[in-house]
Amino acid sequence: MGANQGGAAQESGAIGHRYIRINERIRAREVRLIDDEGNQLGIVPPFEGMKLAREKGLDLVEISANAKPPVCRILDYGKYLYQMNKREHEARKHQKSIEVKEVKFRPRTSAHDFTIKKNRIIGFLEDGDKVKATIMFRGRERAHKEIGWDMINRLLKELEDVANVEARPKQEGPNLSAVMAPKKTTGGKGADPAR
């Protein structure tokens, strides 16, 4: 909504973490002015820009505060906020959040179950997630922790083509765990080429 429409228009607002100055809140002595059709009108005092904006029922919006002088544009501020928020929402929608999945083993896990769990880890890594492999010791198994260490070292060795070890194996209370992250070359749908 323009500054002259609907009573008191918002004088400033925030998009994401960025603060935007409009109309009287613009503090620079001079601004580089762009009109509502995208034409550059040169460097003018902000009050001239506001006068032009009000004549058209629009707002003067600071779109680049760090430029020298700041760049301001004549536009419908409500529509501008809507479009910026929509763009940020679209950008967030396409980001993949990385989750840490946990796969648990026991020292007496059979060879078949070991392979199934290893394949599950590979699937998580291909989806771009990190994986925490945990070997849980209970009761008398705690007296034979070397079995767990052998198992986790074997797992890391077998996954070295698809995983980077992010946290080396370590004892956490009765459990032994290691954290793995996907390698760039996994090429899965969630693999992040920037990592």
Mean predicted confidence (pLDDT) in 112-128? 92
Q: Looking at the predicted structure, is the pLDDT value of residue 11 above 80?
A: no
The answer to whether the CB of 34 falls within 8 A of the CB of 49 is no
What letter would DSSP give residue 96?
A: P
H-helix segments, the chain:
46-55, 77-93, 111-126, 145-158
Q: Looking at the predicted structure, is the pLDDT value of residue 12 above 70?
A: no
State the pLDDT at residue 13.
54
State the pLDDT at residue 94.
74
pLDDT by residue (tens digit) across 40-94?
Answer: 999 999 889 999 999 999 999 988 888 889 999 999 988 988 888 888 888 887 7
Q: Taking the mean position of all CA atoms in its chain, how far away is CA 158?
A: 31
Q: Looking at the predicted structure, is the pLDDT value of residue 4 above 50?
A: no
State the pLDDT at residue 99.
78
Q: Which residues pair with 18 in a beta bridge?
A: 15
State the pLDDT at residue 67.
87
Q: Which residues pair with 107 in a beta bridge?
A: none
DSSP calls for 33-75: EE-TTS-EEEEE-HHHHHHHHHHTT-EEEEEETTSSSPEEEEE
pLDDT by residue (tens digit) across 144-163?
Answer: 889 999 999 999 999 989 99
The answer to whether the CB of 183 falls within 8 A of the CB of 163 is yes
| Structural domains of the chain sorted by starting position, each given as residue range(s) with its CATH number in brackets | 12-93 (3.10.20.80), 100-186 (3.30.110.10)
Mean predicted confidence (pLDDT) in 87-115? 86
Average confidence score pLDDT of the chain: 83
Angle between the N-to-C axes of helices 145-158 and 111-126, in degrees from 0 to 180, rounded to the nearest 10: 50
What letter would DSSP give residue 131?
A: E
Reduced to 3 states (helix: H, G, I; strand: E, B; else coil), residue 109 is coil
Q: Which residues pair with 82 in a beta bridge?
A: none
